[in-house]
Amino acid sequence: MSLTVAERKLLAEEWCKKAKGKMDHVAVHVGCMSLKDSQDLALHAAQIKADSIAVISPSFFKPKNAHALRSYLKAVASAAPNLPFYYYHIPSITGVNVLVRDLLVGIEEEIPSFRGVKFSGIDLMDFGLCFSLMKPNWSLLYGVDEQMLSGLVLGADGAVGSTYNYVGCQFNKLLSAFEKGELVEARTIQFKLQDFLGLAMKLGFDVGVNKQLMVEVSGLSLGPPRFPVMPCHPDVAASIKHKYESIFPQC
């Protein structure tokens, strides 16, 4: 959301190009404050042969209800009608608290390309009630890393999270344990991840911290965040990395 439209197009082009033969699916996020910019990015995603698009709600002029949000999403989807379309629900960032279950009512009639939701909210009742409205070709993906197991128990088809960039191996173990019915093991891993993320949150967990942790763990030079997000002090990232290594001696 801190990038220009031109930068976002370049980034999407690189992901689609580099992912060929390596990844099953590339979803391009096209949500913006401006409807016209979102439509521009959606059309571009179709032109570069992305597999799907996802859209976050505008957060300055906010939709007041499900009808308003659905109307906005419909307008964006119309720019790329043949691309599978996902709504990205993250109320802690957008301040948009429209219940997803209300948004889903009749949405397939207004957006034929609709294929699901990335649900990054902590309201598990809302998440659970979405399943009564599910269609066979939809997916509900859970996006609160510290509660992933809860999402899986309710029926999530998968998960999308920022911390998976550097602790994904642990979440894969959690997923594997859950799929095998080993709930005690899955719960144990989730509790360990909560312990790790708890320290990160205590030290001021944000995008700047997340990015620095990716640098520390991967060894890749990813550059600083863009203002107003502040860079993370290396000592903070080192403390969080040490906590991770103490909980998970090996991946």
Average pLDDT over residues 182-198: 97
Please give the share of the chain, as a percent, with pLDDT higher than 70: 99
Known active-site residue 241: no
Burial-class residue 219 by CB neighbours within 10 Å (0-12, 13-18, 19+).
exposed
Q: What is the DSSP letter of 130?
A: G
Domains present along the chain, CATH in parentheses: 1-161 (3.20.20.70), 164-251 (no CATH)
Q: How many CA atoms lie within 13 A of 200 on its CB side?
A: 26
Q: Is 36 a catalytic residue?
A: no
Contacts of 47 (CB under 8 A, 6+ apart): none
**Assigned token pair, 242:** 């040490």
Query: Which one of 9, 87, 118, 244 is the catalytic residue?
Result: 118
pLDDT, tens digit, 9 for 90 and up, residues 25-38 = 999 999 999 999 99
Establish how many alpha carbons lie within 13 A of residue 191's alpha carbon, considering only the half-sphere containing its beta carbon.
6
For the beta carbon of residue 85, count every other beta carbon within 10 angstroms: 26
CA nearest neighbour of 121 among 152, 157, 85, 145: 145
- Residue 68 sits at φ, ψ, to 5 deg, of -65, -45
- Among 72, 86, 88, 142, which one carries the catalytic annotation? 88
Q: What is the pLDDT of residues 79-113, one digit of tens each?
A: 999 999 999 999 999 999 999 999 999 999 999 99
